[in-house]
Chains A and B, each alone.
Chain A
Amino acid sequence: MSSAIQFDPIRLPPEAEALRVEVRAFLREEIDAGTFDPVTAPYREGFNPEFSRRVGDKGWIGLTWPKKYGGQERSFLERYVVTEEFRAVTAPTRVHFTADRQSGPVLIKYAPEHIKMDILPRITRGECCFCIGMSEPGSGSDLFAASTRATKSDGGWLINGAKVWTSSAHVADYMIGLFRTSASTEENRRHGLTSFLVDMKNTPGITVNPINHMTGFHEFNEVVFEDAFVPDDNVLGEIDSAWKQATSELAYERSGPERFLETIYILTELVRTIGDKPDKREAEGIGRLVAQLHTLRRMSVSVNGMLQAGKEPTLEGSIVKDMGTQWEQKLPQRARELSAFVDENIGNRANFDELLRFATMIAPKLTIQGGTTEVLRGIIARGLGLR
Chain B
Amino acid sequence: MVNADACIARQSPAIDRIRERKINMSDDNIIIDATTRIFQDLCDPQTITNAPDDSWKAPLWEALEESGLTQAWTPDDLGGAGATIVDGFDVLRVSGAFAVPVPLAETLLAGWLLSKAGLIVPQGAMTIAPARAGEHLTLGDDGTLAGEARAIPFANEAEKIAVIARRGESSVVALVDRASCGIAEGNSLAGEARSTVRFDGIVPEEVSDPVEGLDEESLVQMGAAVRAAQMAGALQAILDISVEYSKERVAFERPIGKFQAVQHNLARLGGEAAAAIAASGSLADTIGRADGFDDQVFLEVASAKIRIGEAAGEGAAIAHQAHGAIGFTAEHILHRFTTRLWSWRDDFGSESVWAVRLGEMVASRGADELWPLVATQ
- Report yes or no: A290 in contact with B358, Cβ–Cβ below 8 A: yes
* The 6 residue pairs across chains A and B that have the minimum distance between CB atoms: A287-B355, A283-B359, A287-B359, A9-B285, A272-B367, A287-B358
Q: Which of A340-387 contact B (CB under 8 A)?
A: 374, 376-378, 380-381, 383-387
Q: Provide the bound-state CA to CA distance between A299 and B240, in Å.
A: 20
User: What is the chain B residue whose CB lies nearest that of A272?
Assistant: B367
- Report yes or no: A288 in contact with B375, Cβ–Cβ below 8 A: no
Inside 8 A of A275's CB, which chain B residues have their CB?
363
Q: Provide the bound-state CA to CA distance between A269 and B268, in Å.
A: 29
Q: Provide the bound-state CA to CA distance between A264 and B367, in Å.
A: 12
**B356 interfacial by beta-carbon distance below 8 Å:** yes
Q: Can you give 11 contacting A-B residue pairs, CB < 8 Å? A: A2-B21, A2-B24, A5-B273, A264-B371, A268-B368, A282-B363, A287-B355, A291-B355, A319-B274, A323-B274, A377-B267
Inside 8 A of A387's CB, which chain B residues have their CB?
263
- Report yes or no: A295 in contact with B266, Cβ–Cβ below 8 A: no
How far apart are B323's CB and chain A's nearest CB, in angstroms? 15
How far apart are A262's CB and chain B's nearest CB, in angstroms? 14
- Report yes or no: A286 in contact with B271, Cβ–Cβ below 8 A: no
- B-contact 0/1 string along A194-217, CB 8 Å cutoff: 000000000000000000000000
**A293 interfacial by beta-carbon distance below 8 Å:** yes
Chain-A contact segment, one of B123-131, B275-283, B324-332, B339-347: B275-283
Q: Which of B250-289 contact A (CB under 8 A)?
A: 257-258, 260, 262-264, 266-268, 270-271, 273-275, 277-279, 281-282, 284-286
Q: Provide the bound-state CA to CA distance between A239 and B377, in Å.
A: 43
Q: Provide the bound-state CA to CA distance between A160 and B172, in Å.
A: 79
A271-B370, A276-B363, A286-B363 known; A85 and B375 CB under 8 Å? yes
- Report yes or no: A280 in contact with B274, Cβ–Cβ below 8 A: no
Q: Provide the bound-state CA to CA distance between A283 and B361, in Å.
A: 9
Number of A-B contacts (CB under 8 A): 184
Inside 8 A of B278's CB, which chain A residues have their CB?
7, 295, 298-299, 302
**A222 interfacial by beta-carbon distance below 8 Å:** no
Total interface residues on A, CB under 8 Å, equals 60
Inside 8 A of B351's CB, which chain A residues have their CB?
288
User: What is the chain A residue whose CB lies nearest that of B302?
Assistant: A291
- Report yes or no: B306 in contact with A323, Cβ–Cβ below 8 A: no
**B10 interfacial by beta-carbon distance below 8 Å:** no
Select B370's contact among A267, A282, A296, beta carbons within 8 Å.
A267
How far apart are A24's CB and chain B's nearest CB, in angstroms? 8
- Report yes or no: B359 in contact with A7, Cβ–Cβ below 8 A: no
User: What is the chain B residue whose CB lies nearest that of A8?
Assistant: B281
- A-contact 0/1 string along B346-377, CB 8 Å cutoff: 00000110111111101110111011011101
Total interface residues on B, CB under 8 Å, equals 61
Given contacts A292-B307, A381-B267, 5 further A-B contacts (CB under 8 A): A267-B370, A271-B367, A282-B359, A283-B363, A285-B355
Inside 8 A of A376's CB, which chain B residues have their CB?
267
Q: Which of A283-326 contact B (CB under 8 A)?
A: 283-288, 290-299, 302, 315-316, 319, 322-323
Q: Provide the bound-state CA to CA distance between A378 and B273, in Å.
A: 17
- Report yes or no: A276 in contact with B243, Cβ–Cβ below 8 A: no
Inside 8 A of A153's CB, which chain B residues have their CB?
none
**B19 interfacial by beta-carbon distance below 8 Å:** no
**A99 interfacial by beta-carbon distance below 8 Å:** no
**B25 interfacial by beta-carbon distance below 8 Å:** yes
- Report yes or no: B21 in contact with A3, Cβ–Cβ below 8 A: yes
Q: Is chain B's binding surface mostly helix, strand, loop or mixed? A: helix
A2-B21, A276-B363, A295-B303 known; A9 and B267 CB under 8 Å? no
Q: Which of B297-322 contact A (CB under 8 A)?
A: 299-300, 302-304, 306-307, 310
Q: Provide the bound-state CA to CA distance between A319 and B276, in Å.
A: 12
How far apart are A129's CB and chain B's nearest CB, in angstroms? 27
Q: Provide the bound-state CA to CA distance between A5 and B360, in Å.
A: 33
**B171 interfacial by beta-carbon distance below 8 Å:** no
Most A CB contacts (10 A, CB to CB) among B300, B362, B366 go to B362
**A244 interfacial by beta-carbon distance below 8 Å:** no
How far apart are A326's CB and chain B's nearest CB, in angstroms? 8
Inside 8 A of A288's CB, which chain B residues have their CB?
306, 310, 351, 355, 359
A3-B243, A278-B359 known; A290 and B374 CB under 8 Å? yes
**B107 interfacial by beta-carbon distance below 8 Å:** no
Select A298's contact among B273, B279, B363, beta carbons within 8 Å.
B279
**A12 interfacial by beta-carbon distance below 8 Å:** yes
User: What is the chain A residue whose CB lies nearest that of B273?
Assistant: A5
Inside 8 A of B36's CB, which chain A residues have their CB?
none
**A246 interfacial by beta-carbon distance below 8 Å:** no
**B239 interfacial by beta-carbon distance below 8 Å:** yes
Inside 8 A of B262's CB, which chain A residues have their CB?
386
